[in-house]
Structure 1
Amino acid sequence: MIIECFDGGMVQLSEPLDFRNFKLVLHADAGSKAQGWQGITLLDNRDALVSIDLVPTLAGCPDGASWAQGYADMIAKAGEHGWIDPERNAIRAHIERAAETSGLS
């Protein structure tokens, strides 16, 4: 599962059925500060916190009970590994930087 962040505050979900991976990708035009990406907090150049409630609202997120169950299971596993910040109700995500901006896919 990939949270893609673009310049101007645009955020979308890619690979929504990959519940084994979770990362945030900053595209080339996206600066180092969260530019109005509500629900996303950049901790440093390597890690971010993403609101658990944000992910199901993103463009690219499938509808349906099976996706919601898979996401809930992913959150539970992340909690077992200490990747959940309960105070912020957020999941830790590794940050990657995209080599080029290709726009929304």
Structure 2
Amino acid sequence: MTSDLRLTLEDPEDFRRFKVKVDAAAEPETVAAALAPLAGLEDRDTAWVDEAALRRLGPEGDAWQAGLSKMIAAAAPHGWVHPQTGAIRAHVEWTAA
């Protein structure tokens, strides 16, 4: 998430370091509202990212979609995929703008 609260996908080919980056100066309630179309904040450190929304945000093409599917399959045995919603767990990184 950019400092003006726009949602972007940085490094879309990096399926190993899945995280949500937000401006450290932003209020958690503001971040939660801005993330709502894509993810829900469980707490300050954890977000659950909607798979369908993430797929729409990512680049077009079968290769990227297959890479995301592989990442999700690898994450599931570790409890990083919500059993009811299919949302993907992501660490929230609060960074300086």
Give the letter for the 2:75 counterpart: A
1:39 positional shift: 3.0
Aligned equivalent of 1:78: 75
Aligned equivalent of 1:53: 52
The structure in which a higher percent of residues are helix is 2
1:62 positional shift: 1.5
1:93 positional shift: 0.4
Greater mean deviation of Cα atoms: 10-19 or 22-31: 22-31
Per-residue displacement from partner, 1:22-81 (whole Å, max 9, x unpaired)? 0001124532021242131111111111111111222xx221111010000000001021
RMSD: 1.6
The structure in which a higher percent of residues are strand is 1
Aligned equivalent of 1:12: 8
Percent identical among aligned pairs is: 37
- What is the number of equivalent residue pairs in this alignment? 94
Higher RCO (Cα < 8 Å, 6 or more apart): 2
Runs of 5+ unmatched residues, structure 1: 101-105
TM-score, normalised with respect to structure 2: 0.85
Runs of 5+ unmatched residues, structure 2: none
- In 2, the alpha carbon distance for the partners of 1:63 and 1:48 equals 24
TM-score, normalised with respect to structure 1: 0.79
Q: For 1:24-35, what aligned pairs fall within 5 Å after superposition?
A: 24-33=20-29, 34-35=32-33
